[in-house]
Amino acid sequence: MTAGAIFDRALLDRRRTRAALDPDTTGARFLLQAVAAELAERLSLVERRFPIGVELAGHTGEMAALLEAGGQVDRVLRIERRAALLGAFPLAVVADEEALPLASDSVDLIVSPLSLHLTNDTPGVIVQAQRALKPDGLFLAALLGGETLTELRTSLLAAEAEIVGGVSPRVPPFVDIRDAGGLLQRAGLALPVTDQDRVVVRYDTMFDLMRDLRRMGMANMLVERSRVPSRRALFLRAAAIYAERFSDADGRVRATFDIVYLSGWKPHESQQKPLAPGSAKSSLAEALKDRSPGMARGSRE
């Protein structure tokens, strides 16, 4: 494990592999399925073909299947850290997304669904992706950010402080959308775009949420996690706090997932250039006139 690492990637690999191969986890893939569908829809709005596209650490292959079905990508390459996650996919490589085995200027599209937030060097991954793209190649990614699982984090911290008298990290930090655009710019990607979608999922209890997180392979894999088995009383108290603070009128509890979407292009001379200061033909106020703020996406039952 590298010094300064946030995530135990070997543990993450084992959990992802177990989750991907367990038929009982299929129902817990709703978030990845929704994100993959959203990324595929965004790609469909780009009027061009991509000779070689990469699904980077999609861990179930659903993103790759959508890329193939969309008709815009001639060949799809899957990259995973574990061979078991690749199955019989015809074009696949076992490699770490933090050490991409791609030559410079070798692929036209890289898509990463719900993976980059669990890398120890997310800026470095994006830099490598930019290097691997051909000029005018497209990078698309979705990662968890913002207030993801804030209810669970709050409840566990409150219960642990109350029962143990101290706290240990249990829910990982997630990217802030205000920092996401900087990741693209520092990597040298042109025309960067970032936006955020919020999905609120409701469960009967906190324990049902935690079961889904285990089935997603997203249980605590922080390097600094406590190795001491937690007392049952801690989770019972956390569940009670969760129900007190984050339940709806029908008694079901809410779980927030913020999805940060990133897109950027490898620079190319054909791309539009930013206008020189003071050369705009219309004001920002005019451009924004009569536009109402967007609403967060509705909750899932």
Q: What does the pLDDT look like over 133-191, one tens digit per residue?
A: 999 999 999 999 988 999 999 999 999 889 877 666 667 778 888 888 889 999 999 99
Write the burial class of residue 149 (CB in 10 Å: 0-12 exposed, 13-18 middle, 19+ buried): buried
Q: Return d(Cα 40, Cα 136) in angstroms, integer.
A: 19
Its pTM stands at 0.84
Checking if the pLDDT of 15 tops 90, the result is no
Q: Return d(Cα 206, Cα 204) in angstroms, integer.
A: 7
Q: Phi then psi for 143, rounded to 5 degrees?
A: -145, 160
Average of per-residue pLDDT values in the chain:
85
**Residue 47 token pair:** 């009027």
Tell me if residue 104 falls in helix, strand or coil: coil
**Residue 286 token pair:** 């005019």
Q: Return d(Cα 147, Cα 157) in angstroms, integer.
A: 15
pLDDT at position 301 is 47
Amino acid at 127: V
Check if the beta carbon of residue 49 is closer than 8 Å to that of residue 26. no
- In the beta sheet, which residues pair with residue 140? 111, 263
The 10s digit of each residue's pLDDT in 228-266 is 656 889 999 999 999 999 999 999 999 999 999 999 999
Checking if the pLDDT of 210 tops 60, the result is yes
Q: Which H or E run includes 108?
A: strand 107-113
Band of the pLDDT at 269, cuts 50, 70, 90? confident
Write the burial class of residue 64 (CB in 10 Å: 0-12 exposed, 13-18 middle, 19+ buried): buried
The 10s digit of each residue's pLDDT in 58-83 is 988 999 999 999 999 999 999 999 99
Length of the chain: 301
Amino acid at 99: A
pLDDT at position 228 is 61
Amino acid at 162: E
| Structural domains of the chain ordered from first start | 9-267 (3.40.50.150)
Which of 14, 2, 3 has its CA nearest to residue 221? 14
Q: Phi then psi for 262, rounded to 5 degrees?
A: -125, 145
Which of 295, 294, 31, 29 has its CA nearest to residue 148? 31
pLDDT at position 102 is 96
Tell me if residue 10 falls in helix, strand or coil: helix
